[in-house]
Amino acid sequence: MTDVPLPATIDAAAPPLGKREATKAANREEIRAAAIEAFSELGFGATTVRDIVRRTSLASGTFYNYFADKDAILAEFVGEHVAEADRRMTEARQAATTPREAVELGAAAYFGLLMERQDLLAMFRRNAGTIRAYAAGDVMTHVVASFREDLDRLLADVGGADLDTELLASGVMGAGMDIAMRFAERGGEDPAVALGVLRALLVDGILGRAER
């Protein structure tokens, strides 16, 4: 399995692309869009590079100018998605004053992201087990570490500093990911339902006890 790459930082002040660079960027995005479609329709395991290329206007060999194989594309999707989720959840948690609020605000930000990208939601729905495996690498470790920092800060304010926040952050994120992937498998129903389950399981349970 290809390691999930950390997405490169985009320079908002970068100069406009030249014609050749613009063509390359367009080709790359066409391949990515075709891959999402193929993974959603056929499933990642059954999809071949040929299945992806058939959904583009490009010659078959063009694929390998941009990606080594289909695993590299899925790894890129997962890396980008998890990094964006981390950014949004971290930003949302800044308004939290308790660990429970941190979980609720972060989870709401993540489910909002899922609902924004219906194309990715469809791909996740078809490939939830595979997505879990790809998200279990370095990028997810960073997400857990980011959440742990917030827990350390917030639990110190409520007298819960003796808790093992590394295990707590890992457990919360693990449960949250499982709920999110099941949510995707069920077709992205009302996110309030998933948030309600997350709240009952983690917020009222584990973190509610920690705050008491």
pLDDT attached to residue 8: 46
Block means of pLDDT (10 residues each) for the chain, 212 residues, are 47 65 93 96 96 95 95 92 91 89 87 86 87 74 87 74 78 79 72 76 60 52
**Interatomic CA distance for residues 210 and 192, integer angstroms:** 24
- The pLDDT assigned to 161 comes to 55
pTM equals 0.77
What pLDDT is stored for residue 211 in this prediction? Answer: 53
Position 67 scores a pLDDT of: 96
Q: Kind and range of the H or E element at 178?
A: helix 165-185
What's the confidence (pLDDT) of residue 153? 85
- pLDDT value, residue 90: 92
CB of 129 within 8 A of CB of 78?
no
Largest Cα–Cα separation, the chain: 62
